[in-house]
């Protein structure tokens, strides 16, 4: 029974020493946390880009199928005006 207790104390001591070393070592737990934050940031960036891609895909689909969407885009982005129309540019300060 005494040998078992000594083994347990030694095992706990070794585990604590390894844990402290891992936390103190620049390539240990701190490195893991830093990499975990990097992965989380990249995952969030990918989520944002996927949402933007979906919005662009829907806009492309609308421009291909809906003449009103195409006309709106041409007027807004290229400044086209139908013959006889008068355009007023209003700017707020």
- The pLDDT, as a whole number, for residue 26 is 63
User: What DSSP letter does each residue of 4-73 carry, written as one string?
Assistant: HHHHHHHHHHHHHHHHHHHHHSTTTHHHHHHHHHHHHHHHHHHHHHHHHHHHHHHHHHHHHH-HHHHHHH
| In contact, 12 and 18? CB cutoff 8 Å | no
Q: What is the pTM of this model?
A: 0.55
Residue 2: is its pLDDT beyond 90?
no
- The pLDDT, as a whole number, for residue 23 is 65
pLDDT digit string (tens) for 17-61?
A: 777 776 666 676 778 888 999 999 999 999 999 999 999 999 999
Average pLDDT over residues 59-88: 89
| In contact, 54 and 46? CB cutoff 8 Å | no
The average confidence (pLDDT) of the chain is 86
């Amino acid at each position: 029974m005494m040998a078992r207790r000594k083994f347990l104390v030694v095992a706990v001591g070794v585990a604590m020493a390894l844990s402290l070393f891992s936390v103190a070592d620049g390539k240990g737990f701190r490195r893991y946390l830093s990499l975990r934050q990097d992965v989380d940031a990249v995952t969030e960036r990918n989520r944002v880009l996927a949402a933007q891609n979906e919005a662009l895909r829907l806009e492309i689909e609308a421009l291909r199928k809906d003449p009103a969407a195409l006309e709106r885009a041409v007027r807004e982005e290229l400044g086209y005006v139908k013959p006889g129309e008068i355009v007023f540019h209003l700017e707020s300060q």
